[in-house]
Amino acid sequence: MLVLGATGPTGHRVVSLALEQGYQVTVLVRRPERLTIQADRLRVLTGSVPDDPQALAVAVGGQEAVISALGVGQSLRSAGLIARSMLAIVSAMQSHGVRRLIVTSAYGVGDTLRDAPFVPRVLMRFLLQDLYTDKAAGEEVLRRSGLDWTLVYPVTLTNGPRTGQYRVGERLALRGFPRISRADVAAFLVSQLADATYVKKGVLISA
């Protein structure tokens, strides 16, 4: 499997858990020194997802699935990262016949905005507008791709422990400022490698 965004806080947990569960893991990262995990079953490649198609092609080739935890960190400016990356990822996967793609999006993007309580919804529409517009554009590329994709929409992320106690669904009743640990999100992302329940669907996840 290939993990993109592996040096980010969620992607790092995905890599760690996938290795723990016995997967052979490849990562494509711009700065390998930021990846603190070392393992015999981990292959580390250097490159930028949207700007280095040759490196991405090498990373995708021979994989059974791709998990994307790409993001811009704490920035409120997207620079079109997700839209550009999704075009590159879809193209590479189609070229190499890799079908399964699990993508981390964000609660409030697209139709999930309807499940957001009033105050978070206002923040999403104004403070996070650029980020969410970029994610929505990337998702349109994904939906047209013909791949076996799943879009995962976590609510507000925390650095808490993995609990294994969380709710998932295409619709969820949410109140206030719902939260979910990155560790639980990582566990759900990895679980989707062997679960077809949400293929070509979006799924919310919340504690």
CA torsion sign for 57, 5, 151, 2 is positive
What's the pTM value of the predicted model, to 2 decimals?
0.93
pLDDT in tens, 1-39: 999 999 999 999 999 999 999 999 999 999 999 999 999
Third-level CATH fold of 2-206: Rossmann fold (3.40.50)
Mean pLDDT of the region 127-132:
82
Q: Where are the domains of the chain?
A: 2-206
Q: Average pLDDT, stretch 74-101?
A: 91
Tens of pLDDT along 63-86? Answer: 999 999 998 776 767 788 999 999
Q: Residue 134 above 90 pLDDT?
A: yes
What count of other Cβ atoms lies within 10 Å of the Cβ of residue 147? 19
pLDDT one-digit tens code per residue, 146-162: 999 999 999 999 999 99
